[in-house]
Amino acid sequence: MAERNVTSLPVSPPLTTPLVWAWGGVLLTATTWLVGIVALFRSIGGLFG
C-alpha cells in the first residue's frame, strides 16, 4: 500500500491559552507587584519611623 504524503499543519494553541495568560498575570501581581508594594510601604515606614 502506498503511503500517503502527510504534511503537518501548524498546531494552533489551545483555546485555554488566555486563561493561562491570566493566571500568569495573577501570579506576577501576587509576587513582583506585591514585593514592590511591600518595598514601597517599607520605604515610607523608614521615612517616618
What residues line the site for other proteins (CB under 8 A)? 12-13, 15, 17-18, 20-21, 23-40, 42-44, 46-47
Which three cell numbers mark 31? 509576587
Which C-beta is closer to other proteins: that of 3 or that of 45?
Answer: 45
Give the chain's radius of gyration (CA, Å): 24
CB of 8 to other proteins, least distance (A): 17
Choose between 5 and 43: whose C-beta lies nearer to other proteins.
43
Dist CA 46 CA 21 (whole Å): 36
Tell me the three cell numbers of residue 30: 501576587
